[in-house]
Structure 1
């Protein structure tokens, strides 16, 4: 679909300020939306909102592609409901080792969980709760049982659970559903509160003419309710239930061994026979909390790189065709429209471009990739088409200032030459220089990280794909940083370029 000319900001809710060490869906989220409105922004782009596991990646380590991250539940909103008392809540105590701009999950999780469990102990199921459980039963029952079993089994992968449970034998599932009833109900409660709070926040944004861009990561985590409950949708060994192939991308300019993500790949033959029902439900679930959907690793719908399980690198993989054209045709008939953006970065072939353009999905342009000296570089603004989204950088990139501090003299010279400066020394506030460049382009969508609006350096980087540890943790510390002066500055640029 073709989007109207507009702009917005990327911010994961975990990056919002709060007293409890991690962002939530409370007051600071509403203040962020107020800042978007005052700044003339029409879009809030988020990352996947699922409950995260190892290293807390919202893309590769979700326990569910359908559930919400209960750590985002606002405890203050639970106080307003009477499920908690204000004097019971204690902020996450300071530690000499803690950086206030970093989410310390090891401390946040136990601290916040104690209050969530206390709220659950006082919760009385309502008709709204019963309706939620019924409406979401297609995924909620499996998810809550999975989480209860995961806790009972000390976090072990589901294929290491007792055989009857791992293979979902009806009698074994029935027995565990009964014995773990309280734990299951606790996770039902968490999902009810998450979606209740998110629904209210989204309505607040929509009432201010701000739309939410959600995100679907193409792959799911092996140790998830998705794979446990739907093993036939993935390429698994029928004996061990382990992945026979895992996902990644082949060697390229950036990596001599490629990237090995470790996620199971899809059994598209089975999905095709079921008319893609699991995937369609996933899109419908995402559109319960978002107005548009960005598809991460879009090229995987045209062809995907699969690597035999057990390989230590992605070198010995192969491209396998996927039924992308049929899939999106049927998805469009199911949804009535396709409110989709395509993440088309990386190894993009003419076939991937044809699939993207056939359905008029906007692709992505990254300004930090533009200045390699090649005037035909597709990321340079003079090559843009209207139906695309321009970013300074995404959650996978450095901040503009972080990039500039590490850029070579030659890169800086190219930026200066492209923008009409006589030398790089004349460039002040590279984040605003690049923001203006993106906003001025013909791209219908221009989206920036909040870190670049705030003018933050490398320490505010959200994710560095070259390493597995210590990603996904940045947060800002106070809503006071979103000043009126800052919103007016952003508003002026937004209006100047008709966004």
Structure 2
């Protein structure tokens, strides 16, 4: 079934509160997608962001980001008064420091109202999400009590979950725990309403989950036995990528690595729970770094770069089989970029999940893989670029003249038309699904880049300041129909 969609992070939406939210602008974007005859809205992970403000370093694999809660919707539901909703601010790049200081103050007022007389919807939510919610809320309350220190720096008794220390904390921090639970109720109330609206418009949400959890997360704290630790909650090995043409020292992510034999002994119960949750809040789930299930790059904890790591065998087909048993065989996109061995390719083939094709990589002389469009197969998802790439216009401006010339020869276009030619190549190719970043439809340059891997300070900040016009929606719809990717007319 040929279809297409647009990649647009929630935080990149316009809106009056310093970051994109689940409010009116999100609903308006769904309307834009529907007019543009798009089937999918792909986003980035929606968890609460931690180190470096990265959505791939979250305090929880299950929680939602409090920054995405829309104050106007809280006021509509009676949890805030109209004068408690902050005055609008101009749309600019995301200032996470400002959000960190402002958000808890306002959300606390809403939470206090809810908790003064908890609704049935709230108590039902807490019961349904009990498998992660209580632990997450206690983790966040303790983290706040510890001055936001990372898990590795907590006092031993709390870090290692000594029963008496936890019991005392639950009493001491009961109010804070309730606050964090209330905030999650607000998030998921708004998220579920947006998803229902999108689905009603024929738009399906493509979520994104990191393969690894954060070293500063309730997931590691709650289930240390599932990760490579020394028994005292200290990591022994961490995740990353080896050196390549794009990063001379590799990429040192620092995430905990799974103790795969333990997961296998438990029949992948934690992963089944995680994927069941993900498929309940998204229509399609993209799993980041999918190749890590076949084999993963292991770096000794404490290393300063990724250069000293080595490859270890992952669960491979056993994991795939467990997911098929739990979820069926569809609804997953496997992010299979990077160095792919024959074993990884065989695992991906056995999974039945579509992998990813990146149009920029087809013309990048540093990329050893073959991403030329004539090599694609139907069971794949093609992108001009991802959140980790510069925009197509940015690539045209910064790639080597030889690479740009090659792209223009292949796509039969002049350099000034390269972005539109890349988009057309994505839409016209044989891949069942084509996803185009919003910034590429707008022909924006490097200023609209979302993330530069292995850097900090200016990532995850881009927001949409260019109005999305009906003229643009109609142009997208025209190309979508031309290349047979539009949903059937009702």
- Which TM-score bucket, shorter chain as reference? over 0.9
Alpha-carbon contact 2:251-2:454 (below 8 Å) kept? no
Q: Does 1:71 align with 2:62?
A: no
Report what 1:105 is aligned to: 96
Report what 2:346 is aligned to: 354
**Structure 1 portions without partners, runs of 5+:** 95-99
Q: Does 1:319 align with 2:311?
A: yes
Report what 1:135 is aligned to: 128
Q: Does 1:456 align with 2:444?
A: yes
For 2:109 and 2:144, the matched residues in 1 are separated by: 18
For 2:260 and 2:283, the matched residues in 1 are separated by: 27
What are the within-5 Å matches in structure 2 for residues 48-127 of structure 1?
A: 48-59=45-56, 61-91=57-87, 100-123=91-114, 124-127=117-120
What are the within-5 Å matches in structure 2 for residues 393-472 of structure 1?
A: 393-421=385-413, 426-472=414-460
For 1:284 and 1:375, the matched residues in 2 are separated by: 35
For 2:352 and 2:264, the matched residues in 1 are separated by: 23
Pair 1:223–1:278, CA change in 2 (3 A) = same
Aligned length in residues: 483
1:7 is paired with a residue whose SS is strand
Instruction: Judge which range, 408-417 or 209-218, deviates more.
Output: 408-417
Alpha-carbon contact 1:343-1:363 (below 8 Å) kept? yes
2:264 is paired with a residue whose SS is helix
Shift of 1:253: 2.1
For 2:212 and 2:240, the matched residues in 1 are separated by: 10
TM-score of the aligned structures, taking structure 1 as reference length: 0.94
2:131 is paired with a residue whose SS is helix
What are the within-5 Å matches in structure 2 for residues 216-365 of structure 1?
A: 216-239=209-232, 241-365=233-357
Report what 1:490 is aligned to: 476
For 1:171 and 1:417, the matched residues in 2 are separated by: 69
Shift of 1:373: 6.2
For 1:109 and 1:281, the matched residues in 2 are separated by: 30
Alpha-carbon contact 1:55-1:468 (below 8 Å) kept? yes
Query: What is the CA deviation profile of residues 156-215 of structure 1, one whole-angstrom value per residue up to 9, with x for unaligned ones?
Result: 122432332222122221221111111111110011111111001001111111111111
What are the within-5 Å matches in structure 2 for residues 187-206 of structure 1?
A: 187-206=180-199
Report what 1:97 is aligned to: none
Report what 1:209 is aligned to: 202
Shift of 1:407: 2.2
Shift of 1:328: 1.4
**Structure 2 portions without partners, runs of 5+:** 486-490
Q: 1:20 aligns with which of 6, 17, 21?
A: 17
1:32 is paired with a residue whose SS is helix
Alpha-carbon contact 1:92-1:108 (below 8 Å) kept? no
Alpha-carbon contact 1:14-1:72 (below 8 Å) kept? yes
For 2:21 and 2:479, the matched residues in 1 are separated by: 29
RMSD (Å), alpha carbons? 1.6
Shift of 1:93: 5.1
For 1:466 and 1:338, the matched residues in 2 are separated by: 32
Shift of 1:376: 9.8
1:364 is paired with a residue whose SS is strand
Report what 1:171 is aligned to: 164
Query: What is the CA deviation profile of residues 87-136 of structure 1, one whole-angstrom value per residue up to 9, with x for unaligned ones?
Result: 33223656xxxxx4310111122223322111112113111111110111
